[in-house]
Chains A and B, each alone.
Chain A
């Protein structure tokens, strides 16, 4: 079976929500729509406070190439165009909308598009106009991926349905319920990228999704389903490329360097669902799970729904110990519960109690467990020692620190509980700051 060397096998806890069909989430009393939802330049608001907006209407325009528009998630009144807090407590530009209680919240579909007649450039433009970003978590604008730099072209596309993060099941449910949308989205992506080969990558812990997707693309010549071994981080783009084509993405490079584009499966599903009807991305499937939530499940949630409304609607067992946007391995703890769901939120994990014992950090015993776990073949033990000494320049120049994509395998396996990935994130941040200020001597 296809896989990559190294990696780990954490308890995936997907049983909590894997069997729960996607349900629509109730409307919140207010919505906070961040303008900086995509990686790259934030969008620019084109509405004012006091203005009525319609669900699906464009409320912010892209500002630059690596930027996408933002659409109103609800029909209602714009209350504020200004700063509101993100999950870190950092004020970020956003639009606050109060939904109109009398509205039926239908999206007025203005135009239906004949998808068969679109040229590749028109498809890329349509994908940009719908505000589409990678729905796996990084929220990188899809139209940028579809426009590789000059001299490079995309030969193959991998649709990432591996979903290797523990707890998350949103992609799994989307594959089960929206296989037709995925196939349509896949065909559009193939035409937009002018590629001829598209692989739908699924881990073998989702046999039902594999069966459904195989059936859905029976008659498609260029689309095939490939089964991958269940292993974390199988869904990382470099790991998928290696497992699928046996080729490695060059150090410091992107998959486009070797002619491959990787997109989340939910991105393809939304493209297939929204592009033919000319709608924008206003809601997404989010897995809300964890032992701290009373009604775990997969929900179709409008973008901008505040987290505290989600928690109070679904009920929590006491005060949650920790709330994570994304999965437990690579997700981000939330310190401000007023922060909203964004385009990149694939899951919300609510933990009721501390799921780990008070961890004492012991010295490194040179067991090599981290070396065996690191999927990009770094030496975390050595990097950890250098990080403690503050030798950030050497970490970059001698040990390829920048190839670390912070999957957390090293910290997960370390028997001495050394916070390796945490140190690497700090080291990468300082190394980047030094490079930006020109102080690096490494």
Chain B
């Protein structure tokens, strides 16, 4: 082997390697970004689903906020109580208390009570149906039952009754708000579970006009507003509006005289109770189209 070629080459490459290693070693010292190791540790404990329900853009950002002390562990809607306690004790901070919030639907008009005026045969999507012809449901504001919310839910929290109405599983719902965004009729909203008095209708028609399209529509009779104490319920746009700042005054008696069951009481078991005066819905099959 020709040592005149090999030795200078080895020396040159070795020297270059040593020089670059020196640069890297220098950069590692001087340009290092000191990151709190607890951020990584906390991120490991978080669920990693990046749902955004805490208000941060993903779990990493939430972990940074936790370590920085601007958020408290209770804000995470997915982690179990045990994990949240673990994070709190790991960081030595208060657990904080954030009430559980869930997605609530404001429509009870399944196919067995609400009239479908026209048959929709296009792409299976509420958004598509709403864009084509409003969806063809008699009630313009009602749930179209084409399951966009169920498709978009990453946690499998939304299931559908046989009449196409979504129902939310409280244990699985993380209040991320994806269903709120996708619903073309804006029927979903994120609500604390303590809000048990709930208006289950968005139809702004009144009286017979509302009831003709849906048996459980609010007919704007105003009885709930009369029965509620001190401004808790007021009538706006033919619908009761609940002032949740006065939620402490809410009682099941407010819904007692509602003739259609449009205003409901959600009990501790997440069952929807209608008042005694509400008409009973006996029909279970879908109404004929037309």
Instruction: Write the residues of chain A forming the contact surface with B, with a CB cutoff of 8 angstroms.
Output: 87-91, 332-336, 354, 390, 419, 422-423, 425-426, 429-430, 433-434, 441
Contacts and interface: CB of A to CB of B under 8 A. Distances in A.
B135 A390 contact: no
13 contacts: A88-B133, A91-B205, A332-B133, A334-B133, A335-B117, A335-B135, A335-B136, A336-B118, A354-B121, A419-B123, A422-B128, A425-B128, A430-B127
A419 B127 contact: no
Contact of A426 (B57, B131, B135, B138): B131
Interface string B118-131: 10011101011001
Given A335-B117, A422-B122, A441-B57, A429 B133 contact: no
A430 B133 CA distance: 17
Contacts of A434: 181
Given A87-B133, A91-B140, A441-B57, A429 B127 contact: yes
B140 A425 contact: no
Contacts of A429: 127, 131, 184
A138 B65 CA distance: 49
B134 interface: yes
A248 to B, nearest CB: 28
Given A89-B140, A422-B122, A335 B133 contact: yes
Contacts of B135: 89, 335
Given A334-B133, A434-B181, 13 more contacts: A88-B134, A89-B133, A332-B132, A332-B133, A335-B117, A336-B118, A422-B122, A422-B123, A422-B131, A425-B128, A425-B131, A430-B127, A430-B182
* Nearest 5 Cβ contacts at the A-B interface: A88-B134, A335-B133, A335-B136, A419-B123, A426-B127
A333 B140 contact: no
Nearest to B290: A319
A333 B133 contact: yes
A323 B37 CA distance: 64
A108 to B, nearest CB: 37
Given A89-B134, A90-B140, A419-B122, A390 B127 contact: no
A97 B181 CA distance: 40
Nearest to B152: A390
B138 A89 contact: yes
A419 B128 contact: yes
B140 A433 contact: no
Nearest to B148: A426
A200 B22 CA distance: 74
Interface residues of B, number: 24
A434 B177 CA distance: 13
Contacts of B136: 89, 335
B147 interface: no
B202 interface: no
Contacts of A333: 132-133
A433 B137 contact: no
Contacts of B127: 426, 429-430
A336 B117 contact: yes
Contacts of A426: 125, 127-128, 131
Contacts of B152: 390
Nearest to B151: A390
A388 to B, nearest CB: 10
A433 to B, nearest CB: 7
Nearest to A419: B123
A89 B204 CA distance: 13
A334 B135 CA distance: 10
B143 to A, nearest CB: 14
A276 to B, nearest CB: 39
Contacts of A354: 121
Nearest to A428: B131
A335 B128 contact: no
Nearest to A437: B181
A94 to B, nearest CB: 15
A433 B132 CA distance: 18
Contacts of B128: 419, 422-423, 425-426
A257 B70 CA distance: 48
Contacts of B57: 441
A434 B181 CA distance: 9
A433 B135 CA distance: 19
Most B CB contacts (10 A, CB to CB) among A87, A426, A433 go to A426
Nearest to B120: A335
A89 B122 contact: no
Contacts of B204: 91
Nearest to A354: B121
Contacts of B123: 419, 422-423
Nearest to B137: A89
Nearest to A388: B151
Nearest to B117: A335
Contacts of B117: 89, 335-336
Interface in B189-204: 204
Nearest to A91: B140
Nearest to A390: B152
Nearest to A418: B123
Nearest to A426: B127
A335 B134 contact: yes
Contacts of B122: 419, 422
A88 B137 CA distance: 9
Most B CB contacts (10 A, CB to CB) among A334, A422, A429 go to A422
Contacts of B182: 430
B181 A433 contact: yes
A89 B118 CA distance: 11
A426 B137 CA distance: 19
A72 B152 CA distance: 47
Contact of B181 (A89, A332, A430): A430
A26 to B, nearest CB: 26
Contacts of B131: 422, 425-426, 429
Nearest to A425: B131
Most B CB contacts (10 A, CB to CB) among A333, A390, A419 go to A333
Nearest to A319: B290
Contacts of B132: 332-333
Contacts of A433: 181
Contacts of A87: 133-134
Given A422-B123, A425-B128, A90 B181 contact: no
Interface string B178-190: 0001101000000
Contacts of A336: 117-118, 134
Contacts of A425: 128, 131
B158 to A, nearest CB: 15
